[in-house]
Amino acid sequence: MKILVKWCVFALVIITTPVRAALDIVITEGIDAARPVAIVPFVWQGQGPVPASISDVVVSDLARSGTFKPLDTRALPQQNIANVAQFNVQQWHGIESEALVVGSVKPYGVDQYLVKFELIDLVKAQLEATKGPASKDSYLLENRETVISANQFRQYSHRISDIVYEKLTGIRGAFLTRIAYVVVNHEAKSPYQLMISDYDGFNEQMLLRSPEPLMSPAWSPDGRRLAYVSFENRKAEIFVQDIYSQQRTKVSSFNGINGAPTFSPDGKKLAVTLSKDGQPEIYVIDIDTKVSQRVTNHYAIDTEPSWFPDGKSLLFTSERGGRPQIYKVNLQTNKVSRMTFEGEWNLGGSITPDGRSLIFVNRTNGRYHIARMDLATRYMQVLSSTQLDESPSVAPNGTMVIYGTTYKNQQVLAAVSMDGRFKARLPVGKGAVKSPAWSPFL
């Protein structure tokens, strides 16, 4: 019988293995600086096994944010508590954590569940416990309840993480977001794949597979469409694809380069690189009318346009000064000004959502790293310490940058926090993973 049980466990492991995410995160630096937080496993108030663990998702979300360090659940003094009424502050004496998340899951009709959660201010509770009994509700930072369906567990867990993160930091959480990226497996007949997944690598979906290269995915501001470059017709062309309906529209197919698409903040236009008139220049194309308007005019390479949040100017990479550097062009006046001066090369720039910083690839002493420049002070900080870093994409809340890098001679994705303290790697199974693009808030 024991052998049978062991075999059964073994069989279950085999069955569940493929469900694991392809993008599994490895935090490489920055746990020491993180703030401790306690997440108690949510109390299951139904029959049979729990459909899914909400607290596991919240724990990994908060750990991946780089801001928090969730305490080991097994070491928490109180388990099996669902709300502040069951919370006993005496038992939490000496536990160093600023807050405590508790909750419950209860069946609620066919395929429906009632999820409740509460965020308790542990520091306040510990302070007031010394002054004598107080109303427990005064410790409550947040409490919510929602009915979800069975397939919404991960989604709603990310929502809880978003709320907890925002309550504790004042910054909107970016856990309910997606990433788009390109996977290349040279052994496959059709090696190039455009993929999307949840921000944490779960729910990976293929949007397009091609025998020829796919490049530069970029999200529309509503998170519904992706623009990208495809070589399927043996030349570079820009497509826009609806991620839900799978509908594809060819937006640009001029002679020469059709590259580096990015959506305008209103989602109606694409800034692109075209070489139809000679050298690579920046153009703005209206997606509906396909009318293109030339923005730059120089014999050197101009590429990698990126919009300022106000939609009035573009950043771009140009080697008009001899080496690739980042410039800004005003779309009304076409006036060009240089933005970067430090290091040998600076390229692939984008502005953070708050409009305060510039994120780009910096080359110093022949090494390529992700860097940030404060626009007000012009202070530049190199953020990453990996190899051959490229394609930085900023999270919609501006706290993290995801980028393409090389680890053990394989192209992988990595993430670094905006202050450079937290670093993580997202290793994968088969093939090279590159060109990540972080979606807007969903």
Q: Which of residues 219-248 bind other proteins (CB under 8 A)?
A: 231, 234-236
259 scored as a contact of other proteins (CB under 8 A)? yes
Q: Answer for the pair 166, 432: CB distance below 8 angstroms, yes or no.
A: no
* CB-count exposure of residue 235 (10 Å: 0-12, 13-18, 19+): middle
Question: Nearest approach, Cβ of 279 to other proteins (angstroms)?
Answer: 8
* CB-count exposure of residue 161 (10 Å: 0-12, 13-18, 19+): buried
Distances (CA, A) of 290 to 143, 150, 287: 49, 43, 5
Show the binding pattern over residues 180-219: x = contacts other proteins (CB under 8 A), - = does not.
---------------------------------x-xx---
Out of 38, 57, 125, 361, name the contact with other proteins by CB under 8 A: 361
11 scored as a contact of other proteins (CB under 8 A)? yes
Question: Nearest approach, Cβ of 194 to other proteins (angstroms)?
Answer: 13
Residue span binding other proteins (CB under 8 A) among the ranges 108-116, 195-203, 220-228, 251-259 = 251-259
15 scored as a contact of other proteins (CB under 8 A)? yes
Q: What is the torsional sign of CA 233, 234, 239, 242?
A: positive
Q: Which is nearer to other proteins, 8 or 171 (CB)?
A: 8
369 scored as a contact of other proteins (CB under 8 A)? no
**Residues linked to residue 182 through DSSP beta bridges, in sequence order:** 194, 434
Show the binding pattern over residues 418-437: x = contacts other proteins (CB under 8 A), - = does not.
----------------xx--
Q: Which is nearer to other proteins, 100 or 361 (CB)?
A: 361
Question: Nearest approach, Cβ of 16 to other proteins (angstroms)?
Answer: 11
236: left (phi over 0), alpha (psi -120 to 50) or beta: beta
Question: Nearest approach, Cβ of 293 to other proteins (angstroms)?
Answer: 20
Amino acid type, 310: D
Q: What is the dihedral of CA 417, 412, 14, 149, to 10 degrees?
A: 50
Q: Considering just the CA atoms, what is the radius of gyration of the chain in Å?
A: 24
User: What is the token pair recorded at 143?
Assistant: 């409490």
Question: Nearest approach, Cβ of 46 to other proteins (angstroms)?
Answer: 17
Q: Which of residues 80-109 bind other proteins (CB under 8 A)?
A: none
Q: Which of residues 398-417 bind other proteins (CB under 8 A)?
A: 406, 409
Question: Nearest approach, Cβ of 20 to other proteins (angstroms)?
Answer: 16
Q: Answer for the pair 321, 338: CB distance below 8 angstroms, yes or no.
A: yes
Out of 58, 257, 358, 371, name the contact with other proteins by CB under 8 A: 257
Using CA atoms, how far apart are residues 319 and 298, in angstroms rounded to an integer?
Answer: 10
Using CA atoms, how far apart are residues 221 and 311, in angstroms rounded to an integer?
Answer: 12
Size of the site for other proteins (CB under 8 A): 39
Give 9's Cβ-side CA count (13 Å radius): 5
Q: Which of residues 382-401 bind other proteins (CB under 8 A)?
A: 388, 390-391
Question: Nearest approach, Cβ of 435 to other proteins (angstroms)?
Answer: 7
User: What is the token pair recorded at 68?
Assistant: 């928090």
Amino acid type, 441: F
DSSP state for residue 5 in the 8-state scheme:
H
Q: Which of residues 113-132 bind other proteins (CB under 8 A)?
A: none
Q: Answer for the pair 375, 395: CB distance below 8 angstroms, yes or no.
A: no
Residues of the shown chain interacting with other proteins in the complex, contacts defined by CB under 8 A: 4-5, 8, 11-12, 14-15, 213, 215-216, 231, 234-236, 256-257, 259-260, 273, 275, 280, 301, 303-304, 317, 324, 345, 347-348, 361, 363, 368, 388, 390-391, 406, 409, 434-435
